[in-house]
Structure 1
């Protein structure tokens, strides 16, 4: 059997790739090993750059909530640094929050007729010819394709089989995720609380629900009985007084918690001849900056753009497009990864030096309009503008910034 493209994995990255490549008129096989979508506490916040792409595809999720601000607050709720998305010169200057399955459903509904979506199909491995990936093995057949897209997640077997290195760095903490039902309403923003125990993150979801993440040690919740969990929840609220209105909802929803590992990496390459990596098969960042899903959508959009410019699916043309994709996306993702990591360290580093430097950097960023706008623009997916070493000194308050009240020159 032959297709133009085979996409392996139907998370956001795989669905976005299938949607983007199918819209070019290519015959796409989208293969997913799971029979049904599993609800997970991930991929719930869309940035403005992704919203523009999804709207172009007709894949924006219905019923999502608009969040106008990403705010870093102290434990009592006082803002320390606020990214006000309404200041961005775009048509959709906001974040959107919705459930991961709802976002997947919107992408699935937007798939063009050129996409053959098969669930419950395990990709057994890659097929090669002359050093180039030329297809995949399924359980009962070989599928030839001009391009294979690996969207099989952070532990990607296809990435390893292709010989692409990925040095994954785990953060020394995890995130406990709670979906709070019956909670009082909260501000329509994405709030990260800076506490002595690290990050607490909350934002509203449709249906009057609230998503709450809490930074925890690797074994902090291990073996706790109901009384132990209740005591832990009491400590969570007492250490973050701003969450006191949610205390009853936190206690009521402790049983539905999910514990998520947190890591970051950027693969040594995002493409080899005949194969492209998209989403978490090629990169991952700390979820605090809401970049993972949005970077996956940008991967798919960029890959389709490179192939469209090539004009054909001849092997040499495809591989040239993949080389350009690799260079362009790695440059972009390097900067996004650095921005996300620095933002996460400001709040999650529990060492004495980390806490002092993080608090100073937050205040310095919050009080500097130029740097704050630059960080927001990069995180929104509208274009990367890296901070300089001098900007880092401005953030820490070591060096005054005479341009602190201005927009960046490029804006």
Structure 2
């Protein structure tokens, strides 16, 4: 495997970020090679909820319709609830100005498989291929070393995850700030009662409990835990722990039987946030978790990866060439655009997570204030949906925590009034 005549781009990693980059760049006509070290995809309990901004991109690629045909579920509301299930902040996605005003939920392996099925003919995927290092000419990345051989291409895309070997090889950092908790993920079958088909986060004295439906009548449940909370617990200990979780969150009563039955089948996920100070160097772009991490509370991680791929393809299409000078200009534009958005998305996700997980006075006030302020609530929803950043001012922050009354609290933003007037979903 030598030379560079067979491919224009090498994408390292075949998760959602890598396959999205391959799909987007392949649609430009570039010859793309995806290299993935794992022989088969690994099932993980994350990356299952798509935001409207991502759905617009995936519909353009032919992915969204395939996901719906495969049973993906439309979720119209994102709700923060009290422990007893009472809504404290409800985001009504039907008010969004988009043809897809909903979240879409499906299993991560199905999302990966659907992306793989829709890859353009110019994309090749090789599994079981270990990318060992970057190749360089001066300060420029000119390819990769894979399984002991050299592969030279104009552009390398690093989509190799949180511990990205290629990011380190390029001299880039992404300092991780770990949250003081983890999330235990459970896949539950057969709830005991009716469960609303929405994305719901419960605020409890024990922290976050998050649930949403998956196809086939299943429920995904996340429970906030301390790093060692479940370590060493036997069957009796796990049952007692499950009882404490349910006692502290009566709103989960319809899931009680399924939760107790499935409590020993879990994944415990670390939770961190990070943003690399640069997402590109000459000849190399970072996409997905190789460049950034966010708390999963606001369902932004996978969606940010898709936005990375779409933005990268957009700037490359505008450049029109992979010649070094043109490519470098495009990569600088990609870096500027994405870091600008990712900084705001990361802050929004962090603030949303703190409102639920910290149980602080200010977080509780911010949740109540946002829930009761139609204008701010809709601005936050627009940002979280991936349809465009809506910045809150310092005065808005004071309105959120109730320090300063908001005379516009009952007024919807102009975009929401227009969406309601056009019949998007007046509710």
Q: Distance in 2 between matches of 1:365 and 1:97?
A: 25
Cα drift, residue 303 of structure 1: 0.1
Q: Please name the residue that 1:32 is paired with.
A: 36
Q: Distance in 2 between matches of 1:125 and 1:42?
A: 28
- What are the equivalent positions in structure 2 for 1:282-321 lying under 5 Å apart? 282-321=291-330
Q: Please name the residue that 2:253 is paired with.
A: 244
- What are the equivalent positions in structure 2 for 1:136-285 lying under 5 Å apart? 136-184=144-192, 185-285=194-294
- Report runs of 4+ in structure 1 exceeding 3 Å deviation: none
Q: Kindly indicate whether residue 86 of structure 2 is the aligned counterpart of residue 116 of structure 1.
A: no
Q: Please name the residue that 1:363 is paired with.
A: 368
Q: Distance in 1 between matches of 2:191 and 2:288?
A: 33
Structure 1, unaligned stretches of length 5 or more? none
* Secondary structure at the counterpart of residue 164 of structure 1: coil
Cα drift, residue 409 of structure 1: 4.8
2:52 to 48, 53, 77: 48
Q: Distance in 1 between matches of 2:28 and 2:113?
A: 21
Which segment is superposed worse, 179-188 or 293-302?
Answer: 179-188
* Secondary structure at the counterpart of residue 207 of structure 1: helix
* Secondary structure at the counterpart of residue 18 of structure 2: helix
Q: Distance in 2 between matches of 1:148 and 1:228?
A: 48
Q: Deviations over 1:333-374 (max 9, x none)?
A: 000001000000001014xxx2x2112111100111110011
Q: Distance in 1 between matches of 2:176 and 2:377?
A: 29
Q: Distance in 2 between matches of 1:204 and 1:395?
A: 30
Q: Distance in 2 between matches of 1:410 and 1:186?
A: 31
* Secondary structure at the counterpart of residue 124 of structure 1: strand
| Contact 2:48/2:108, CA 8 A, preserved across alignment | yes
Q: Please name the residue that 2:419 is paired with.
A: none
Q: Distance in 1 between matches of 2:56 and 2:71?
A: 17
Cα drift, residue 213 of structure 1: 0.2
TM-score by length of 1: 0.98
Q: Kindly indicate whether residue 138 of structure 2 is the aligned counterpart of residue 133 of structure 1.
A: no
TM-score by length of 2: 0.94
- What are the equivalent positions in structure 2 for 1:100-115 lying under 5 Å apart? 100-115=108-123
Q: Kindly indicate whether residue 100 of structure 2 is the aligned counterpart of residue 98 of structure 1.
A: no
Cα drift, residue 182 of structure 1: 2.0
Cα drift, residue 201 of structure 1: 0.3
Cα drift, residue 130 of structure 1: 1.8
**Superposition RMSD on alpha carbons, in Å?**
0.9
Cα drift, residue 255 of structure 1: 1.9
* Secondary structure at the counterpart of residue 143 of structure 2: strand
Q: Kindly indicate whether residue 83 of structure 2 is the aligned counterpart of residue 79 of structure 1.
A: no
* Secondary structure at the counterpart of residue 376 of structure 2: helix
| Contact 2:195/2:254, CA 8 A, preserved across alignment | no
Structure 2, unaligned stretches of length 5 or more? 417-427
The alignment of Structure 1 onto Structure 2 pairs a total of residues equal to: 407
Q: Deviations over 1:46-95 (max 9, x none)?
A: 00000010010011213100000000000000000011000011100000
Q: Distance in 1 between matches of 2:161 and 2:184?
A: 20
Q: Please name the residue that 1:388 is paired with.
A: 393
Cα drift, residue 330 of structure 1: 0.3
Cα drift, residue 407 of structure 1: 2.2
